[in-house]
Amino acid sequence: MKKTVFKGAATAIVTPLTENGVDYERFGKLIDWQIAEGIDALVVCGTTGEASTLTDEEHREVIKYAVERVGGRVPVIAGTGSNDTAYAVDLTKYACEVGVDAVLAVTPYYNKATQKGLIASFLAVADASTKPVILYNVPSRTGCNILPATALALAEHPNIVAIKEACGNISQIAELAALTRGKLDIYSGNDDQIVPILALGGIGVISVLSNPMPKETAEICRKFFAGDVAGAAKMQLDLLPFINALFCEVNPIPVKAAMAAMGFCDNSLRLPLTPMEPEHEKAMLDIMRQWKLI
């Protein structure tokens, strides 16, 4: 059996930004709060962390800072994927050197690689990595889908240990689980599908919801693993209105507004992302008040 990176809930953490760059003081406080609230792992420089508009220097600094700030308290997973495989390999090597516990490798976006191309690209990253690799399948963003048979082929590599599955297609995820059982850990990449994917044998979630609600997101997983499936499902359904609000505009626009309302960052985004529409923000903040988050 391959090593499991984490079990439960990992936060795909926002990157606090100002006009002058990354706000490391607030980033550090956010990291500490997440861990104190009981999150099981942290993912930095993912989609939610606005990795695509960080400079290369910022991307590397954020990874290094997170590893040092966490100090081994929970696993740190770094987003190192790219549409340029050579760049992904280079960034993966760097992340491993500075001490991450695993890397998250998204499918090459825009290029729309074939399944053969996906295999070749992911194998190049896995060969370069000295740490476990988690595949990230999010076809709605990248224009390319890791098919279950492709995931099975990639699972033969000793460094490829898991997949973050955000295809949104439960039937495809069921086929993936059936093919790869014991060979690849599966994490939900969608907050509205945590319990369904756990029911198919998944072992956790890489979450946006857990930015403002780390304790509750982790609790969904813990209830499920303890056998309280009904309790986990109730939490999933109770949180659905907030989850929908967090995705009413493209991620991370809403969650950045939510975290700003909680005082963890400025509501600062980099183009082409723009601040949340006022009516959407008002509706989301109303839900946050119901949950006593603000």
DSSP code string of 53-121: GS-HHHHHHHHHHHHHHHTTSS-EEEE---SSHHHHHHHHHHHHHTT-SEEEEEPPTTTT--HHHHHHH
DSSP structure class, residue 17: E
- 8 A C-beta contact, residue 188 and residue 206: yes
Sequential pLDDT tens for the chain (294 residues): 688 999 999 999 999 999 999 999 999 999 999 999 999 999 999 999 999 999 999 999 999 999 999 999 999 999 999 999 999 999 999 999 999 999 999 999 998 899 999 999 999 999 999 999 999 999 999 999 999 999 999 999 999 999 999 999 999 999 999 999 989 999 999 999 999 999 999 999 999 999 999 999 999 999 999 999 999 999 999 999 999 999 999 999 999 999 999 999 999 999 999 999 999 999 999 999 999 999
Write out 209-224 in H/E/C secondary structure. CCCCCHHHHHHHHHHH
DSSP H/E element including 71:
none
Say which residues have a Cβ less than 8 Å from residue 215's Cβ, sequence separation at least 6. Answer: 37, 38
Residue 170's Cα: distance from chain center in Å? 18
Domains of the chain: 8-226 (3.20.20.70)
Catalytic residues: 136, 164
